[in-house]
């Protein structure tokens, strides 16, 4: 097996034993990027020179006999809405096509201190608004399992890079499923932590009460290691929770006998693809064989999550994106005759159609006379959704559902039908509305494409989510499957 296809924990052992050097590893993954990027298009920026410099620094530490940290020397990449000092951060938008932040996000600084090697920044739906990566203003990323299909979104570049072995792990952001849905489409592991578990400082905001940063990895153990590195309280983020961070690797390998798992009937209703349903039901049987007690339950307000989300998220987006005016940073239309026309033309030319659509929806929902009828009502529905989960978690240790109602669709298939596209996040959105942790991992294939299994946990109980996911993963071979990409 080639080094770029190994997991972070496998590579850690090889670096520690000096079987490979950090420079050899970085070079192997950079070569892989060069070979595959014309097809996959996961990256917007590649930082090859900086990566090799960092790798050399790691090799010097190894030569001195210093202890190697779990992610030290491991090549990784970041979704392009995470600020990186001195490196372009575009959010997949023309309005930030030349923006270079003067500081780095807290998670970026944490990974840098851990010795992880940054390879570059990854493609995404513009300002994280999308479910297919087709809303990137640069180019669509393609699914490594089938280059004619979408990798999911908005963290499509992050999921595709891991699936194609163009990075050992990546960080994405999840507002309504933007880590888990692309992880499902690309057959990798994606974790959305509890809201407040990971600092959002330096994450370019979409919807501030929903956004959360999380890892996309090749297996569950890597997911635990990356979460360990990025979790924790941060004074720079007022929404960061001051909650102790456990050792997530401690629970890996512990059996799940006697654990109670709820299976919400609302997630198996009309709209669920038959091939996906078959694989999810097989996964539930596997969990039962591992000793878990799986029972049908109900989350009655599930059907209202999607419409409530598409009021709350656009409302927050309309507020957050008001800062892009062509004055302080980013793109400015220099042909405008006055300030007002400059604002209007800058936003008109800088934002893509989906971002404009959501800004208009959000502005309308917050406008005088409509606030109570739309935004306030959506917040009340959000409370009902959270209470549904609270009642379920009084009885169950975790909840298991499909990640997406379908496998990856073809590029261009849904781009003209926003509602059909929004339905791709039907099963992930309730988790964000309730602020809960959830993971997606592969549970088989339908139509030759990966199917994602979603495990939802109690607030700040990522440990149980990882424990169940690890037991399921290790009892199957799905995580070992790799797309057969032809190298240039």
Taking the CA atoms of residue 47, residue 52, residue 58 and residue 64 in that order, the dihedral angle to the nearest 10 degrees is: -160
Query: Which of 21, 41, 54, 79 is labelled catalytic?
Result: 79
| Strands 260-264, 398-402: pairing kind | parallel
Q: How many CB atoms lie within 10 A of CB 60?
A: 11
Name which CATH class applies to 3-251: alpha beta
**pLDDT-derived band at 306, boundaries 50, 70, 90:** very high
154 is catalytic: yes
Query: Which of 93, 154, 173, 199 is labelled catalytic?
Result: 154
Q: How far apart are CA 217 and CA 80, in angstroms?
A: 17
For position 192, what pLDDT does the model report?
A: 98
119-140: per-residue pLDDT in tens? 999 999 999 999 999 999 999 9
Query: Which of 173, 178, 442, 463 is labelled catalytic?
Result: 178
175-193: per-residue pLDDT in tens? 999 999 999 999 999 999 9
220-235: per-residue pLDDT in tens? 999 999 999 999 999 9
Q: How far apart are CA 123 and CA 45, in angstroms?
A: 9
Outline which parts of the chain fall under CATH 3.90.1300.10. Answer: 3-251
79 is catalytic: yes
Q: How far apart are CA 477 and CA 475, in angstroms?
A: 7
Residue 408, SS3 per DSSP: coil
Q: How far apart are CA 427 and CA 414, in angstroms?
A: 18
Residue 117, SS3 per DSSP: strand
Q: How far apart are CA 83 and CA 101, in angstroms?
A: 6
377 is catalytic: no
């Amino acid at each position: 097996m080639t080094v770029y296809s190994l997991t972070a924990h496998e590579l850690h052992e090889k670096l520690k034993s000096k079987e490979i050097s950090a420079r050899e590893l970085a070079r192997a993954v950079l070569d892989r990027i060069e070979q595959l990027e014309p097809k996959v298009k996961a990256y917007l920026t590649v930082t090859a020179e900086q990566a090799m410099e960092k790798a050399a620094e790691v090799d010097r530490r190894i030569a001195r006999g210093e202890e190697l940290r779990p992610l030290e020397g491991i090549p990784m990449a970041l979704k392009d809405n995470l600020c990186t000092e001195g490196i372009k951060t575009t959010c997949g938008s023309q309005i930030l096509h030349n923006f270079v932040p003067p500081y780095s996000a807290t998670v970026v600084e944490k990974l840098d201190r851990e010795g992880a090697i940054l390879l570059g920044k990854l493609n995404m739906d513009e300002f994280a608004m999308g479910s297919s990566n087709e809303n990137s203003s640069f180019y669509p990323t393609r699914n490594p399992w089938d280059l004619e299909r979408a990798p999911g979104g908005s963290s499509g570049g992050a999921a595709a890079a891991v699936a194609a072995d163009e990075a050992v792990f990546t960080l994405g952001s999840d507002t309504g499923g933007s880590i888990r849905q692309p992880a499902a489409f690309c057959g990798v592991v994606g974790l959305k932590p509890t809201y407040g578990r990971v600092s959002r400082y330096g994450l370019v905001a979409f919807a501030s009460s929903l956004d959360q940063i999380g890892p996309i990895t090749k297996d569950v153990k890597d997911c635990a290691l990356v979460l360990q590195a990025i979790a924790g309280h941060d004074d720079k983020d007022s929404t960061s929770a001051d909650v102790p961070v456990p050792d997530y690797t401690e629970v890996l390998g512990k059996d799940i006998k006697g654990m109670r798992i709820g299976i919400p009937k609302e997630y198996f209703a009309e709209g669920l693809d038959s091939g996906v349903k078959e694989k999810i039901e097989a996964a539930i049987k596997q969990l039962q064989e591992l000793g878990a007690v799986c029972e049908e339950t109900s989350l009655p307000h599930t059907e209202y999550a999607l419409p409530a989300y598409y009021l709350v998220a656009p409302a927050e987006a309309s507020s957050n994106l008001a800062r892009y005016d062509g004055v302080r940073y980013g793109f400015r239309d220099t042909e405008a005759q006055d300030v007002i026309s400059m604002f209007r033309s800058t936003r008109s030319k800088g934002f893509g159609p989906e971002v404009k659509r959501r800004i208009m929806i959000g502005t309308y929902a917050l406008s005088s006379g409509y606030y109570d009828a739309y935004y306030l009502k959506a917040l009340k529905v959000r409370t009902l959704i959270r209470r549904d989960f609270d009642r379920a978690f009084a009885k169950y240790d975790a909840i298991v559902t499909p990640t997406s109602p379908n496998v990856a669709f073809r590029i261009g298939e849904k781009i003209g039908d926003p509602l059909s596209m929004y339905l791709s996040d039907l099963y992930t959105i309730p988790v964000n509305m309730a602020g809960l942790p959830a993971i997606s991992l592969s549970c088989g294939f339908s139509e030759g494409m990966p199917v994602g299994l979603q495990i939802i946990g109690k607030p700040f109980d990522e440990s149980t989510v990882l424990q169940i996911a690890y037991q399921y993963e290790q009892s199957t071979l799905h995580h070992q499957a790799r797309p057969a990409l032809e190298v240039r």
